[in-house]
């Protein structure tokens, strides 16, 4: 299954799970509304943001009313201004009220991730450093949030434990050291599976380079240590800075010459974009 197909399947899974969670045996309050009545609505943003999640939003309404229509005034990746209309919806009135919260939850969450990522990407513009996500995602929404990172201009790290090997401190200890761990990893890696090894000291970096590591994660190093690591590396491996990287540190780290900066805050610290769905009579 290619990425686009995997994403389509994931959207349907996410939407089905979210609607089941919210509706359960039925939306009792929506029964106050005439079942044959149609209504229209408009989503606006109350703050500047990067739009993301339109497919999840649309799939939520389509799941409950296949005849619903959505006219988008922006697409994923577009910058939004406060007060800007995002889309217009025509749907069964009950469906509009039932789907509203679930649809907005997807749109405001994914727009938040894309918006934060875009700000981080802009902060390192002009350097070679790429902003990279992590596995610190909301349970059940990993592919959705990683999609949002890419919409914001970031780069996806491994999706899960199955498509990449990241050898961390505990793996190194259990495997008998960096050199041994890398050898074992190469024996089991296949296809597009990449191998990355974490180092905490410059001596470990030298060992990883001697073992021909192609991707090395510099874990919680000081700026001085990272600067020296870049010189020692001399372009032999991709270097990734990681470990509690804050926005205010980004540019200084990128200017050191690392290739990647991985940031868990892109997906784990979510402050939803403020969106509103206004209802109108047809």
Instruction: Please identify every residue annotated as catalytic.
Output: 101, 136, 168, 198, 219
E runs forming strands in 46-172: 49-50, 69-72, 79-80, 85-92, 130-132, 164-167
Q: Are 50 and 114 in contact (CB under 8 A)?
A: yes
Cα separation values, 204 from 165, 211, 257, Å: 18, 11, 19
Q: What DSSP assignment string belongs to 54-76?
A: HHHHHHHHHHH-TT-EEEESS-T
Coil, strand, or helix at residue 161? coil
Q: How far is the first Cα of the chain from the last one, in angstroms, to the nearest whole number?
A: 42
**The tokens of 167 are what?**
């050898």
What is the SS3 assignment for 38?
strand
What distance in Å separates the CA atoms of residue 69 and residue 106, rounded to the nearest whole number?
A: 18
């Amino acid at each position: 299954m290619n990425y686009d197909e995997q994403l389509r399947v994931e959207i349907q899974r996410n939407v089905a799970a979210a609607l089941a969670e919210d509706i359960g045996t039925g939306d009792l309050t929506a029964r106050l509304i005439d079942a044959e009545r149609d209504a229209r609505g408009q989503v606006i943003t109350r703050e500047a943001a990067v739009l993301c999640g339109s497919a999840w939003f649309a799939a939520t309404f389509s799941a409950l009313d296949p005849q619903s229509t959505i006219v988008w005034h922006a697409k994923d990746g577009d910058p939004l201004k406060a007060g800007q209309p995002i889309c217009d919806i025509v749907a069964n009135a009950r469906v509009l009220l039932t789907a509203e919260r679930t649809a907005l939850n997807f749109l405001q969450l994914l727009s938040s991730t894309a918006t934060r990522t875009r700000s981080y990407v802009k902060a390192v513009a002009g350097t070679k450093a790429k902003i990279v996500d992590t596995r610190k995602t909301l349970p059940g929404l990993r592919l959705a949030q990683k999609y949002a990172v890419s919409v914001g201009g970031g780069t996806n790290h491994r999706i899960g434990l199955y498509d990449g090997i990241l050898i961390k401190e505990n793996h190194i200890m259990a495997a008998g050291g960096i050199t041994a761990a890398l050898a074992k990893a190469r024996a089991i890696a296949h296809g597009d599976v990449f191998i990355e090894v974490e180092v905490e000291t410059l001596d470990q970096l030298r060992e990883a380079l001697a073992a021909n590591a192609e991707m090395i994660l510099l874990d919680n190093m000081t700026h001085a240590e990272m600067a020296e690591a870049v010189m020692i590396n001399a372009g032999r491996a991709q270097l990734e800075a990681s470990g509690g990287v804050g926005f205010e540190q980004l540019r200084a780290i990128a200017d050191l010459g690392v290739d990647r900066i991985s940031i868990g805050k892109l997906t784990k610290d979510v402050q939803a974009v403020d969106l509103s769905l206004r209802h109108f009579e047809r």
